[in-house]
Amino acid sequence: TTSKTPAFITGYNNKALFLNSTLNPSLSTSYIPLGNTSFTIDAWLYPTAFSNSSDHVLVSMCPVINNDSCLYLAIRRNNSNPYLSFGFYNDDLWGATILSLNKWIHVAFVFDMSKFQQSIYLNGFLDSSRNTLNPLRVVSGNFSIGYNSITFLGNKSFEV
C-alpha cells in the first residue's frame, strides 16, 4: 500500500521511488520475518536534499517502541552532518562517512545473527560495524519504505 503517493521515476536502474520529505510518502507491505535471523537490506540512493532537521527514514518496521523491537534504517544527523544509521531501537549503529547530495550511492545494512553484529556498507566498503546487545526482536508490523508514523524518525527526500 502507499501513503501520500510516492512517485515512481527513472533512476539508476530505470526504476526508482522518489520520496519528497514535504509529503511524508511511504510504500509498505505486510510483515517480513527479520527477527532473530541474519539479513541484508540494500539500496541505491540519490539524496537530493537533507531537508529534515533530524532523520530521513529509508526503511522501518516498528510495531511497538521497545528496545530491539523496532527496525529502522535511516539517514540521521549528527552535528548537522548526515550519516547512515542502522537501528533496532536503543541498540543502534551510526555510519562513519558524511553523506553527499546529488550523487548515487549504494548502501547495505547487514545483520549477522551468529555474531550479533550490525554492519553498514557504503559503495561496497565497510563504513561501520558493531556488536549488538540482542538480535532484532520484531515479530509483527508492516515493512515500510519511507515515512514512519513514529515521529522521531522524521522523513526524507531522495530516491531509493
- In degrees to the nearest 10, what's the CA dihedral of 10, 159, 106, 150? -150
Between 135 and 28, the higher pLDDT residue: 135
pLDDT at position 158 over 50: no
Asked if pLDDT for residue 146 goes beyond 70, the answer is: yes
91-125 confidence digits (pLDDT tens):
899 999 999 999 989 999 999 999 999 999 999 99
pLDDT score for 90: 87
CA distances from 9 to 16, 42, 155, 159 (A): 5, 19, 19, 9
What are the grid coordinates assigned to 106, written together?
549504494
Question: Domains, the chain, ranges and CATH?
Answer: 2-105+119-159 (2.60.120)
Tell me which residue has cell 527526500: 157
Flag whether pLDDT at 153 surpasses 50.
no
